Structure 1
Amino acid sequence: MKKILAFAGSNSSTSINQKLLENITGRIQGHELQMIKLTDYPLPIYSQDIEDNEGFPENVQKIANFIAEADGLVIAVNEHNGTVSAFFKNILDWLSRNERNFLANKKILLISTSPGQRGAKGALEYSQGILGRFGGDVIESFSFPSFKDNFTDNKVTNEVLDMGIADVLTTFAHQIDE
């Protein structure tokens, strides 16, 4: 049984990416799943001065340890103005300064959603590109458009999108088992 870590890159208490993540991870079978909320591990905005004068905040190592213990990751990335949120980018900055290849040998399923028709594709594309720089292997991604039109009562209401999610989960599960 493989260990999968799941988290959303949002710091919103009403995050639609968190809601989608909970739906998707609820479908994962046959693996140990751990879900964390990054907001439980606050970090200051990355600064070279903080790093030089104070070292790495304790929460950087806590998050890094969660990642190190996992075989695979399911990450929901939210979008602010066409890219990932400053909150998520800041976490990536701290983690990559602590250990450049903090995602080494990690298989990753990326998901994103937004109220709009693009489904946070800008954030998804950015994440696909940057996570590989830190050793991660993004094996599957899924953009979920028009969240409020396609998700109600914690369920995907669009049959085509639901089948798409099932498809990427099957691929992810197959890849993580190898």
Structure 2
Amino acid sequence: MKVLALAASNSSQSINKQLVSYAGELLTSKIIPNAEVELIDLNDFEMPLFSADRESASGIPQQAQAFYDKIGRVDAVIISYAEHNGSYTAAFKNLFDWTSRIDAKVYQGKAMIMLATSPGPGGASNVLAAAKGSAPYFGAEVKADLSIASFFDNFDVEKGQLRNAEIQTQLEEALATLK
């Protein structure tokens, strides 16, 4: 099984990148040992802000095609969504908007695990709900989703792992839906 993992954030200090990285390691060490996980960085897909005028003038940026192609080559996608002002980060939304111009079914029928976390009690649940609600329209087969509130209370940053046993079990159960 090939899995694409990413944080929907372009922050170098992204807690969502820490979470999705841990989820990928957990998937290969405990859930599906023969899985191959590729962790990508949103910064590798930076491009101009989407507009119909830019698309008419210059076409679709190569980075959007590269992202679409990466999704096409895997069996599943794990995304951990950061929440900015109750919604997607601008970096993720821009990448998604450009990629949707290639094919509205951005996720190409792939199985998907959706995660989200934040430092506060909301756990980025607003953006997770929006992503989960719209995902089927964009070709995703959402297998599981998990919001983790109060990231720094529940995740040991130094060890790079969850310290909350209940959330650990929930994450393992979510990942096991990819079997």
Q: TM-score, normalised by structure 1?
A: 0.93
Q: Could you tell me which residue of structure 2 aligns to residue 113 of structure 1?
A: 117
Corresponding residue of 1:76: 80
Paired with 2:105 and 2:175, the residues of 1 have a C-alpha distance of 25
Contact kept, 8 Å, 2:81 with 2:88, in 1: the verdict is yes
8 Å contact kept, 1:68–1:102: no
**Cross-structure match for 1:137:** 141
Q: 2:37 aligns with which of 33, 36, 39?
A: 33
CA distance in structure 2 between the partners assigned to 1:37 and 1:83 by the alignment: 19
Aligned to 1:123: 127
Q: Report what 1:15 is aligned to.
A: 14
Q: Percent identity?
A: 34
- Does 1:164 find its partner at 2:170? yes
Q: Which runs of 4+ in 1 moved over 2 A?
A: none
1:8–1:76 CA contact under 8 A, matched in 2: yes
Distance 1:124 1:11 in 2: 17
Is the deviation greater in 10-19 or in 145-154? 145-154
Output the aligned Cα RMSD.
1.0
**Residue 4 of structure 1: CA displacement?**
0.7
Matched AA of 1:162:
Q
Count of residue pairs brought into register by the alignment? 172
State how 1:79-90 maps to structure 2 within 5 Å: 79-90=83-94
1:97 to 81, 101, 105: 101
For 2:101 and 2:72, how far apart are their aligned partners in 1?
Answer: 15
